Amino acid sequence: MPQPECGAKTPPMMITTIPAAMSKRPFMKFDLAPGATGIMRVMTIQAVVFDIGGVLEITPDLGVTGRWESRLGLGPGELNKRMYDVWRGGSVGTVSEGDVHQAASRILGLDEGQLAEFMADIWREYLGAANTDLIQYARRLRPRYRTGILSNSFVGAREREQAAYGFEDLVDEIIYSHECGMSKPDPRIYALACERLGVEPAQMVFLDDSEPCVQGARRAGIHAVLYQDNSQAVSDIEDLLGR
C-alpha cells in the first residue's frame, strides 16, 4: 500500500505577564501558526507527539509495488490505481483486514498463497525498521512530558507495530487514523490528539516528515517540526522545550 501521508489531564498553564528577563530573550526561530498570537511563545510545552512512518520508523521504498506489478503483468501505477479505494478505506477504518484480503484477491486475481505473500511484502515495507535513536529520545521525554503518536495508518497497524516496536509502551497515547476515521491534515485529528493528551494546541510539539501534515498542525495552533534527520529534529524540539 502507499505510505500514508501525512489519561490524566494536565491543567493548561499560560504566562500572561512576561517577566522582564524573558522579554529580552530572542524569540525562537519557529513561525507562529496563522492566526495565532504571540502568547503562544510563552505557553508551557507539556506534550511531544511523533509521526511513525519516516520518523519513528525508517521506511524506504523497497520496490514491492513494482515487483508485484511485473509479476501480475500490470503497468506502472496500475496496482495502486486498482487498489485505491481499498487502501483509502483501510487508512480510515471503513474496511476490515478481512475486507482488504478479499478485495486484493478479487481485484488482483491472487490465490491464497499469493495473497499471503503479497500482504507479507506490503507489511514488511510498511513497518520498515526502528529509528532506534529517535525512539530512545522519545522514551527519555517521559515522565516530564506527556508523549503521543499521531499516525496516518492502516487497519492492522496497531497490532503489528506493537509486536515489532512496542509503541504502546513508548508513549501515553496513540492516535491511528484507521481507528478514529480521519487522517492528517484534517484539523479534527489534531484536536483529538490535544484532547487525548489533555493539553492546549500551543502546549504541544508535533514531529512529522510530511510538509502538508506539519502545515496542518501549525494551522491548528500546534508547534510543528518538519523531520529531516534525527539531529535536526531533536535540536528543534529541544529549542521549543527551552532546554
In the 3-class helix/strand/coil scheme, how is the chain assigned residue by residue? Answer: CCCCCCCCCCCCCECCCCCHHHHCCCCCCCCCCCCCCHHHHHECCCEEEECCECCCEECCCCCHHHHHHHHHCCCCCHHHHHCHHHHHHHHHCCCCHHHHHHHHHHHHCCCHHHHHHHHHHHHHHHHCEECHHHHHHHHHHCCCCEEEEEECCCCCHHHHHHHHHCHHHHCCEEEEHHHHCCCCCCHHHHHHHHHHHCCCHHHEEEEECCHHHHHHHHHCCCEEEECCCHHHHHHHHHHHHCC
**pTM to 2 decimals?**
0.84
* pLDDT (0 to 100) of residue 195: 98
Q: In which residue ranges of the chain is pLDDT below 50?
A: 7-31, 35-41
- Alpha-carbon gap, residue 198 to 176, rounded angstroms: 17
* pLDDT (0 to 100) of residue 243: 81
* pLDDT (0 to 100) of residue 14: 29
- Residue 238's CB is within 10 A of a number of other CB atoms, namely 12
The three three-digit cell numbers of residue 190, written as one number: 489534531
* pLDDT (0 to 100) of residue 3: 56
